[in-house]
Structure 1
Amino acid sequence: MQIFDALFAPIARLLVARGLPFPDLVERMKLHYVQAALTQAGDRATDSRVSVMTGLQRRDVVRLRGEDVKDRRPNHLARLVALWQTGAGWSRDGAALPLVRSGPGQSFEALAQAVRRDVHPRTMLDTLLAAGTVALSADGQQVLLTQTSYQPLAGSDDQLAYLSRNLGDHAQAAADNVQGRTPPHFERSVHYSGLTETQINVLSKRFAEAEMALFQELSQTAARMKEENTEAGTQRFRAGGYFYRTGETD
C-alpha cells in the first residue's frame, strides 16, 4: 500500500481541509470498490465473487451494486465560454466577439440561453464577472471575454468539480496504462530538481504559454469537427497539463 502514498496524501489533505469525516470517505470508497469489481468480473459478478474481490461483506455488495458513481452534471459556464469562442455568430477567427448584455441576436443573454435555459443569464454573468472570466465595457452595456476558459473561484463547488473530473481522467489514463491498455494513453511528464526560483519562474511561464496555445487549437479544431459531424458521436476526450513546483527535492 505504501506505493500509493503519493496519491493518498494530497487527497487526504484536501478532504481534511474541506471537513469531510473519514467514515464518509470509507462509505464512498465501498461504492467504488463494488463498481470496480463488477466491471472486472463481468458476467461472473455474483455477490459472493464481488465480496471476495473487494473484501466487503455481501450485504454491502447487495446494497451498493445498483448505485451509480458517475457525475453527469455538465458545467454550463465552461460550455458557454467554449461556445463563445467557437460558435458561429459568437466568434470570429477563433476570437470571442464583444456582446451586448441583453436582447435578441448577438447578446450575452441569447448566448446564455443557448447553453442553458433553466439558469438566469444574470446569474451566469455575475458568476463569470466574479471569477474574472468576463468584464463589462465602460458604459456597462457590453460583455467582453477576458479569459479563454472559465476558472472557478478558489474553494467553490465548481472548482472542486473541475478538480474531480480533471484528476479523475488523468488517474484513469495512468491506471489504464499500468494495466496494459493498447494503445496506451499519452501520459508524460518532465521533472528536474536543483533549480533556482527564477529559473522555475521562466519555465513555468513558458509551459503555461505553450499549453494555452495548444488547448485553444484543440478546442477550435474539436468544435469544427463536431459541427461537421453527420451522425452523433459517442466519444469524448480530455487533454490536460500541469506544472507543479515545490521546495522539496523528492
Structure 2
Amino acid sequence: MSDLPSPPAAEALLRALRRPLRPLVRLLIRAGVTFPVCAEMLRCLYVETAAKDLSPDGRPPTDSRLTLLTGVHRKEIRRLREAAEPGDDAPPAVVTLNSQLIARWLGLPETTDEGGDPLPLSRAGFDALVAGVTTDLRPRTVLDNWIAQGIATIDHDERIRLNVAAFVPREGGEARLFYLSRNLHDHVAAAAANVSAAGAPPFLERSLHYDRLSPEAAAKLEAAGRAAAQQLLVDLNRLALSLVEDEEKVPGAPTRRVNLGIYLYGEDEQA
C-alpha cells in the first residue's frame, strides 16, 4: 500500500465519498444499471486492485490474502480470477485522431493568430495538417466527418474553420464515455494521492466556489470561467507541442503521462 502512506479513517472516508458517488449512482440508474450489476463490477474491482496494486513483494497474493484485504469470499475470488478479462483502457481511434488534429491546429504557430485563435485553413493546409498526424485516412474523409459533427465548417471562401468549442467531444457516446472514464479517474487519483500524502499534496487540485449568487452573476462567472479555461488549455497545448518536438530529438522512450483538467459546475441551491 505504498501509494497510500497515511489513508484516512474508513468511516470518515465513506462519509466523504457519499456525495461524489451520488451523481454516478444517478447516471447508473438512468442508464438502467441495477445495483446487483454494479455490485458485481465493484467486487471484481476490489479483487483486481488488491491483486495488482497492493501486493508488497510484487508476487500475486494468495486467495486467503485477497479475502483478508477485500472481504470477498475465496470461492468468489477463484470465480472472478477465472472469469477475468484483460481491461482495455486504450482510447477509441476517433478520439485519438481528433484530439491530435485539434491539438496541432490550436498549437502550431502557422495555424493560429497572435491571440492563439485557430486560423482558417485552405484545403491544402488542412490536408497537410491531417497528413502530419496520420496517413491511414484521406483528409477528405476526416473533413466530411468533422463537418457532420460540427467540429469544422467551410466558409464562403472555401476555407475550413475550426469550431472553437471543439474541445467538447461530438463523436457520440463512445468518445464521451472515454473522457468520462479518463478524466474522472485522473481527478479521483489526484485527490486520493493528495488526501493520503504525508507531506505537501503532490498534485494540483484547486477550485473557486461561490454560493448565493444571482442567476445573472452566476452566468457572468461561468462565461468568464469558460473563456479563461479555454485560453489556458490553448497556451499549455502550445507549450506541450514545443516540448514534444524537443524530446523527439533526445533518444529514449517517454514514460510519463500528464492530464490537466478543468471543470465548471453550477446548480440551484435547495431551499
**SS of the residue 2:254 aligns to:** coil
1:178/1:88 CA distance change after superposition, 3 Å:
same
Which deviates more from structure 2 when the two are superposed, residues 123-132 or residues 214-223?
123-132
Aligned partners of 1:227 and 1:26: how far apart in 2?
Answer: 45
Alignment of 1:63 with 2:82, yes or no, is yes
2:154 to 120, 128, 136: 136
Aligned to 2:211: 193
1:25 shift after superposition = 2.8
1:163 to 167, 180, 188: 180
The number of residues matched between the two structures is 244
- 1:18-29 aligned at under 5 Å gives the runs 18-29=31-42
Aligned partners of 2:136 and 2:37: how far apart in 1?
Answer: 32
Instruction: Give aligned-pair identity as a percent.
Output: 33
TM-score of the two chains, using structure 2 as the length reference: 0.77
Alignment of 1:72 with 2:93, yes or no, is no
Aligned to 1:52: 68
1:73 shift after superposition = 1.8
Aligned partners of 1:15 and 1:123: how far apart in 2?
Answer: 35
The 8 Å contact of residues 147 and 153 in structure 2, kept in 1 or not, is answered as yes
The residue type equivalent to 1:29 in the other structure is L
Aligned partners of 1:181 and 1:114: how far apart in 2?
Answer: 45
The 8 Å contact of residues 51 and 61 in structure 1, kept in 2 or not, is answered as no
The 8 Å contact of residues 47 and 77 in structure 2, kept in 1 or not, is answered as no
The residue type equivalent to 2:222 in the other structure is S
**SS of the residue 1:244 aligns to:** coil
The 8 Å contact of residues 31 and 69 in structure 1, kept in 2 or not, is answered as no
The residue type equivalent to 1:46 in the other structure is T
1:200/1:63 CA distance change after superposition, 3 Å:
same
The 8 Å contact of residues 126 and 160 in structure 2, kept in 1 or not, is answered as yes
- 1:196-211 aligned at under 5 Å gives the runs 196-211=214-229
Aligned partners of 2:233 and 2:103: how far apart in 1?
Answer: 11
1:154/1:92 CA distance change after superposition, 3 Å:
closer
TM-score of the two chains, using structure 1 as the length reference: 0.83
Aligned partners of 2:135 and 2:37: how far apart in 1?
Answer: 34
Structure 1 unaligned residues grouped into runs of 5+: none
1:228 to 226, 231, 246: 246
Deviation string 1:187-212 (CA, Å, 9 cap, x unpaired) is: 11222221111111121122222212
The 8 Å contact of residues 101 and 129 in structure 2, kept in 1 or not, is answered as yes
Structure 2 unaligned residues grouped into runs of 5+: 1-13
1:80 shift after superposition = 1.0
Alignment of 1:85 with 2:102, yes or no, is no
Alignment of 1:3 with 2:16, yes or no, is yes
